[in-house]
Structure 1
């Protein structure tokens, strides 16, 4: 091999600017160019609308899969500013649709990131063959169109508007995505999680792609994590030997709040789902703390009632899981995740805060309802002795 073949200098470096980089390496921004990436496209556009509702500036979000293969995301908020006036709560619409991370929140407890990226709608614009933006604001209606991330015309005022809001509609670029069929079930699953975890949130999802088989769901759950628990248990909830234990607690030590709902059912399977700032997690300090708290409360009660002898060891956290269904959600001002996929929460202080909160509430319930408590404790203690 010659020296010329192995030489590496500045001439070999390719510099990609702005949205050109998104189209060159789409998987870096939406995860893949398959179904997963298509879902992420919807979530990136819906992020802003969902946070408008949670901030109290809008009442609902409407997501529609259109007959021509597009996705329409609409909210009834005040409308994104056309320009960027001083003191505005967010960027102007053109910046939102052409600059990555524009409009993305701080990542604190009051912000929701639906997908795993949080790069904003500009990425969706770049990966769409077409995007239309409609803003209804201060009595006027404005419209603009984009093609593959580039505006085809300036914003145009097209008439009066009776109400306010923002509607973004996009059609994925078939040159980027091998197939452009959105999964209704995949969208519904993630949007339902958000509605369970954020009690003031209302989202509707409508599929109009086949007019003879159209369907629509409205996702709003005033019961929050209690409703989530019922959904996870399904038909087994009727055979539950104890009531749901649910609470929410603010704790300044972890600069956030914990919300937990759990109960034991007669079925042997364990169903524990955890979330950090409404992101699904596969574990972390919040789930470890939850198990610590349950084990501590059960052990203390079993000793008080004589179901554990002095010579018996404490009940290990792994022994409590048979038939346990739980939702463990924390919302933190400064969440710390392990790894680039953000699947594991790492905030060390969260473990003690969640553990203490769970121990307090479960311990109180055990003492208030001895009959049902005895059935659950006996099941756990006998299982621990068999092991």
Structure 2
């Protein structure tokens, strides 16, 4: 049937651009019009705040859940305000009203906090019934108001300011989302992860939605991934060695840095978390495959050399080293390659090779220096074990 017979022609095609396109199809940009959508909006704003703070070297991010919205504030340098004549980056209004205006830090130093994809502040603004931006720069506090992504007026100098930073108070549009509120446990887990993976970062989370039951938490972990392993181990049995095995290594072949922490206990379970540029990789990838291969090679070589494996024993395979193992494998890459629509799996063959070599070399040294503990580790790895007996850490909360 032709276009003339069906009555369908170009006049029936609706072309939407910019803010209108975002509000028409919000699920395309934040994943859902359910609770996940507002949560994604929070993570998008947190993403920008954390990157600003880390680019400055240190600092803090504050997330507050209020009865009428969410406030995310940071102690970074503050977004430039065009009305003040600032230069050196996209100005506040451009960041909030244009696609990809805010370039920000890239590569291995950029945190990817949002678990779905990076939608940018423009999308957050477009999907908010109201948004207030506040910038503290050069001793002046600037504010600007928006309604459904449209500026009510220009940035206004609202008085003197101490320190620097940017804050956004926004209300996910109740006309778009089934619920504009966010689940507290989901926020707790992700903010704790960011603080654990970035030891110089401090994040606070305050829930004021029920005034007589206000709750505040602070996430700061100087031990980084070592602290992460200790938290994951809670309820996992007694450690087979007192110290968490930990190392960091940069490798130009993968254009990045790896941060690995692990410890074995007498538990029957395996507990692993993996990340790429602070993004949780729930489906694993080349970094976790390399990690397992490196562990298996080091344990097999040490067991053979020291008579802990008999001639009849096969070498350890990557699926035989998980019993009692708690680990965190984090990589920071200039150009991470994610697979799948939700980017839950890391690609890149060079990552596998680099992580495998580094883990094999570091663990081999540790085994040589700790013979009694090495014997215990190899002993538990020799026990029969089902590789599917892995604790689901991606649905549990990690908090301080």
CA contact (8 A) 1:48 1:104 kept: no
Q: 2:327 maps to what in 1?
A: 326
Q: Distance in 1 between the 2:86 and 2:168 partners?
A: 24
Per-residue CA distance 1:116-142 (angstroms, 9 max, x = gap): 321211111111110011112112221
Deviation at 1:323, TM superposition (A): 1.1
Q: Distance in 2 between the 1:57 and 1:26 partners?
A: 34
CA contact (8 A) 2:65 2:207 kept: yes
Q: Distance in 1 between the 2:164 and 2:2 partners?
A: 66
Q: Distance in 2 between the 1:84 and 1:359 partners?
A: 56
Q: 2:339 maps to what in 1?
A: 338
Q: Distance in 1 between the 2:37 and 2:383 partners?
A: 47
Q: How many residues align?
A: 382
Per-residue CA distance 1:25-55 (angstroms, 9 max, x = gap): 1011011011111111111112221111111
Q: Distance in 2 between the 1:110 and 1:87 partners?
A: 24
Deviation at 1:250, TM superposition (A): 0.4
1:378–1:73: structure 2 CA closer, same or farther, 3 Å change rule? Answer: same
Alignment of 1:154-303 (within 5 A): 154-236=154-236, 239-242=238-241, 243-281=243-281, 282-303=283-304
1:309 matches 2:310:
yes
Q: 1:145 maps to what in 2?
A: 145
Alignment of 1:99-114 (within 5 A): 99-105=98-104, 107-114=106-113
Unmatched runs of 5 consecutive residues or more in structure 1: none
CA contact (8 A) 2:248 2:259 kept: yes
Q: 2:352 maps to what in 1?
A: 351
TM-score by length of 1: 0.94
Is the partner of 2:236 in helix, strand or coil? helix
Q: 1:375 maps to what in 2?
A: 376
Deviation at 1:90, TM superposition (A): 2.9
CA contact (8 A) 2:236 2:269 kept: no
Q: Distance in 2 between the 1:21 and 1:123 partners?
A: 10
Per-residue CA distance 1:282-309 (angstroms, 9 max, x = gap): 2110000000000000100110111223
CA contact (8 A) 2:290 2:354 kept: yes
Q: Distance in 1 between the 2:262 and 2:199 partners?
A: 17
Q: 1:16 maps to what in 2?
A: 16
CA contact (8 A) 1:57 1:77 kept: no
Q: Distance in 2 between the 1:306 and 1:72 partners?
A: 60
CA contact (8 A) 1:244 1:261 kept: yes
Deviation at 1:362, TM superposition (A): 1.0
Q: Distance in 1 between the 2:220 and 2:374 partners?
A: 32
Of residues 57-66 and 289-298 in structure 1, the stretch that sits farther from structure 2 once superposed is: 57-66
1:314–1:128: structure 2 CA closer, same or farther, 3 Å change rule? Answer: same
Q: Distance in 1 between the 2:78 and 2:277 partners?
A: 25
Is the partner of 1:129 in helix, strand or coil? strand
Q: 2:77 maps to what in 1?
A: 78
Q: Distance in 1 between the 2:258 and 2:291 partners?
A: 10
Unmatched runs of 5 consecutive residues or more in structure 2: 386-400
Is the partner of 1:14 in helix, strand or coil? coil
CA contact (8 A) 1:284 1:346 kept: yes
Alignment of 1:9-158 (within 5 A): 9-56=9-56, 59-67=59-67, 69-83=68-82, 88-105=87-104, 107-115=106-114, 116-158=116-158
Q: Distance in 2 between the 1:309 and 1:168 partners?
A: 63
